[in-house]
Structure 1
């Protein structure tokens, strides 16, 4: 069945090709593109390209995030075309398409980082914004490099249990615990608008926090989210970001293991999936230029709990981008 024969959800005046119509083809049938959307080669152009990066050579504990992108796609079969929380139909407002995967060398991290950056350059060069499905957090560095080429140094909201601003692991500069230190060193982040969200758990020492602060990061811990609530946290983050071009990077381990067991470095005391989604919805007015969701490791997942949370997280981020694209067009 080709794209012309596949029943799809009507998408009104924009002409965007929408997801497969689940009232006519069961959700469990057919290829598992993100939210059952068309592939990139089935549309003329994409406003938002959902792309996977099956790479986890940079992990320091449990591997398996190389399978995360496809796990998220499978879980996203249940997503529907109208998002009531944001009062938007994202796949009607903009053309969203699944761009497949970026192949990266699993035996050479430096080469992998270069190839991810080059592929991201191609996608952004087509005019699309990227919604990337990881993969481990190493991939954030080449993605940020590519985004900064287009927008200049960007604001960053980093949702994670961990800082990911350490210097090296075993002498390696490129790992899933070092991308944001490298990004600051390379001048691709706007150091006046950086924040971690959801951090918690033991550190190597107090110097970790001192070094992180010197790099320009603010911190909203998971305990802060619990005590202050999602609305207040989102308001604080909006004020910090302003109207700067924003990149959001989400390590799924920002969630408590009860909500995301399928990840490589789980830490107790994390956010709920509800808190994460509400914070993201509170950022809908920010200028979100691209985003990623990483560190989903399905081998440790129970009943797709983690992948479901990740798919809804990517859906909220995609909705924000689609709304902003439509607004820029005056729609």
Structure 2
């Protein structure tokens, strides 16, 4: 299937029957075909096994493959969104982008180049990290295609610090760099699920100056998912949207396998419901990062991550299919 006929060719979905052995065969995301098997794709699920930007526990370089393994049980029909995400459009696993684990600056350049290559085909990205450093180069690439984008950042932490030990590229700095580089729409930025201690109150003041709103995990508890979703949709509007999910947005009870856990986080149910509520938003790409399987008990974290990625892929799939339907109606 080539780029010219992708819109009319039937997507190649996972080979799913009631006799499918979910634990057998290659561990692509949701058991979708590899990119080299279909030639081109509408949604590329791509891993970035990089964690040299972490400030606490390492191990997120193994997160992408852990999410793939946990995604084996994902089935073709998503009842929460009443959708068949792998049947509407082509979803393929693009493998991993290699990034130098010994040189952060070089790694950032490699991730940006890999994202450029995939996005140049018209695909949207569902990136599996890796640590949160990788969000910056992907946002650079996405912004080249869409202009400055709205951002929803699900995380226990702000990730808008200026530097760590003098390093400007770390997992705690990507969104400050993104604002400084003009690749984010500063009228439509929001953190969701933040909590925990900070270095000083100035961290919050500087974050506000960068343009971010904050919905804490306590806000989700007190206001409820529906009110939070409505607030987020009002802030985003119809702008192109990028969603970045650090799995530590979840409470350690729901995601122990991460590098910087903080008590008092969202439940996996709350995260999934918030993501599902964003169905009307113009989601152009997304990432899910900071899964560190060495600290994961019984795959709790990677299962939550795989289901969150599935919901994000479903949002993109439904939107692509809807736009194509509109185009077809205009041609009739």
TM-score range (shorter-chain normalised) is over 0.9
Count of residues in correspondence between the two structures:
319
Q: What is the CA distance between 1:15 and its match in structure 2? A: 1.1
In structure 1, distance between residues paired with 2:271 and 2:226: 11
Find out whether 1:140 has 2:135 as its counterpart: yes
Q: Partner of 2:317: helix, strand, or coil?
A: helix
Find out whether 1:150 has 2:183 as its counterpart: no
In structure 1, distance between residues paired with 2:50 and 2:17: 31
Q: In structure 2, which of residues 136, 155, 158 is the aligned counterpart of residue 160 of structure 1? A: 155
Deviation per CA, 1:261-315, whole angstroms, max 9, x where unpaired?
Answer: 0000000000000000000011010000000000000000000000000000000
Q: Partner of 2:252: helix, strand, or coil?
A: coil
Find out whether 1:122 has 2:112 as its counterpart: no
Alignment check: 8 A CA contact 1:33 1:73 kept: yes
Deviation per CA, 1:161-216, whole angstroms, max 9, x where unpaired?
Answer: 00000000000000000000000000000000000000000000000000000000
Q: What is the CA distance between 1:21 and its match in structure 2? A: 1.9
Match of 2:254 in 1: 259
Deviation per CA, 1:65-84, whole angstroms, max 9, x where unpaired?
Answer: 00000000000000010001
In structure 2, distance between residues paired with 1:309 and 1:90: 18
Q: Partner of 1:114: helix, strand, or coil?
A: helix
TM-score, L = length of structure 2: 0.95
Matches for 1:88-237 after TM superposition, within 5 Å: 88-237=83-232
Alignment check: 8 A CA contact 1:64 1:264 kept: yes
Q: Partner of 2:26: helix, strand, or coil?
A: coil
Deviation per CA, 1:84-140, whole angstroms, max 9, x where unpaired?
Answer: 110100011110000000000000000000000001000000110000000000000
Match of 2:317 in 1: 322
Alignment check: 8 A CA contact 1:14 1:92 kept: no
Q: Which structure 2 segments of 5+ residues have no match?
A: 1-7, 327-332
In structure 2, distance between residues paired with 1:312 and 1:53: 18
Alignment check: 8 A CA contact 2:16 2:75 kept: no
Alignment check: 8 A CA contact 1:184 1:215 kept: yes
Alignment check: 8 A CA contact 1:117 1:146 kept: yes
Q: What is the CA distance between 1:20 and its match in structure 2? A: 2.6
In structure 1, distance between residues paired with 2:154 and 2:316: 18
Q: Partner of 2:286: helix, strand, or coil?
A: strand
TM-score, L = length of structure 1: 0.95
